[in-house]
């Protein structure tokens, strides 16, 4: 029975203090000389396997409809003729190579010319913008004082063209003499 207030002991005895738990790895640590002399190089595979992607039935179905396929047989023939595969979205995952000319991240912003900062060029540009804005505001205020043209004044100065009356009418609306009843004499 276990002692009172102490956990029960297991049946196994522990190894001594010089015991290494886990797997022992032989470590080579010969310093710089060994690092330069013994490179751990990975051998290239003879034929890298190309990953075969599954067929993209959605794209093939769209293409079949565009070609005018309507029956199941025509769809089957189109699927046999056109083999469209899904795109590999994980091309850069698991050791894949980036396509040539592909860059990642945001492009850096162009550097600020130090010469323009020293000559207060940005202050002068801002002041020019403010002066142009005040000029535009003065012109707008002057235009507000003028009488604006509304629809009535426009029609008075530019009358609508007079419509020429058409003398053509539908034949059924023409006044036709009523047929005279023959008298029964």
The overall pTM is greater than 0.85: no
Determine, yes or no, domain membership for 129.
yes
Determine, yes or no, domain membership for 40.
no
pLDDT at 126: 94
What is the spatial distance between Cα 75 and Cα 69, in angstroms, rounded to a whole number?
Answer: 6
Domain that holds residue 129: 113-155
In tens, the pLDDT along 79-136 reads 998 889 888 776 555 556 666 777 777 878 888 888 888 888 889 999 999 999 999 9
Cα 57 to Cα 62, 85, 87, 106, 162: the distances in Å are 8, 8, 12, 35, 66
Determine, yes or no, domain membership for 96.
no
In tens, the pLDDT along 25-81 reads 666 666 676 767 766 666 666 666 677 888 999 999 999 999 999 899 999 999 998
**Span 162-168, mean pLDDT?**
77
Determine, yes or no, domain membership for 123.
yes
pLDDT at 134: 92
Answer whether 27's CB lies under 8 Å from 40's CB: no
Q: How many Cβ atoms sit within 10 Å of the Cβ of residue 151?
A: 7
Q: For residue 55, which phi and psi values (nearest 5 degrees)?
A: -70, 145
Determine, yes or no, domain membership for 72.
yes
Helix (H) or strand (E) holding 80: helix 72-81
Determine, yes or no, domain membership for 29.
no
Determine, yes or no, domain membership for 16.
no
Determine, yes or no, domain membership for 145.
yes
How many domains does one find in the chain? Answer: 2
């Amino acid at each position: 029975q276990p002692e009172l207030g102490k956990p029960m002991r297991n049946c196994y005895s522990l190894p001594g203090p010089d015991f290494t738990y886990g797997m022992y790895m032989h470590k080579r640590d010969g310093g710089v000389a060994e690092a330069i002399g013994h490179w751990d190089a990975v051998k290239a595979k003879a034929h890298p396997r190309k990953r075969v992607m599954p067929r993209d039935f959605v794209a093939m179905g769209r293409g079949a409809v565009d070609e005018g396929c309507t029956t199941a047989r025509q769809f089957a023939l189109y699927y046999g003729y056109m083999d469209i595969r899904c795109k590999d979205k994980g091309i850069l995952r698991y050791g894949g190579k980036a396509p040539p000319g592909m860059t990642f991240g945001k492009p850096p912003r162009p550097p600020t010319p130090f010469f323009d900062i020293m000559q207060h060029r940005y202050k002068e540009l801002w002041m020019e913008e403010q002066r142009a804005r005040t000029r535009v505001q003065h012109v707008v205020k002057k235009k507000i004082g003028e009488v604006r043209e509304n629809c009535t004044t426009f029609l008075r100065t530019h009358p609508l063209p007079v419509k020429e009356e058409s003398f053509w009418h539908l034949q059924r609306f023409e006044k036709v003499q009523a047929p005279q009843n023959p008298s029964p004499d």
